Amino acid sequence: MGFGRIGAPELILILAIALVIFGPSKLPEIGKSLGKAIKEFKSGANQATDKEDEKEDDKK
């Protein structure tokens, strides 16, 4: 038994559990925070990649 892909039924179940735990008023706030965190992570990852590329260019 593996943890493969998450399908529509699993996603609906996860969202229903989150709704019960956090309530309808907190879900938009949680989603906004999660989106912001992902955006900042991607930005940091891109900056790190750019710095590595600059170091490789300096070595040449």
Is there a contact between 47 and 39 (Cβ–Cβ < 8 Å)? Answer: no
Dist. CA 35–CA 26, nearest whole Å: 14
Helix (H, G, I), strand (E, B) or coil at 29: helix
Give the ranges where 5-26 is alpha helix by DSSP (H): 8-22
| Predicted pLDDT of residue 59 | 66
- Tens digit of each residue's pLDDT, the chain (60 residues): 456 787 888 989 988 998 899 888 888 898 899 999 999 999 998 898 887 777 766 666
Q: Which pair of tokens denotes residue 35? A: 């989106």
Domain boundaries, the chain: 25-60
| Predicted pLDDT of residue 20 | 92
Q: What's the CA angle centered on 16, arms 27 and 4, to 5 degrees?
A: 105
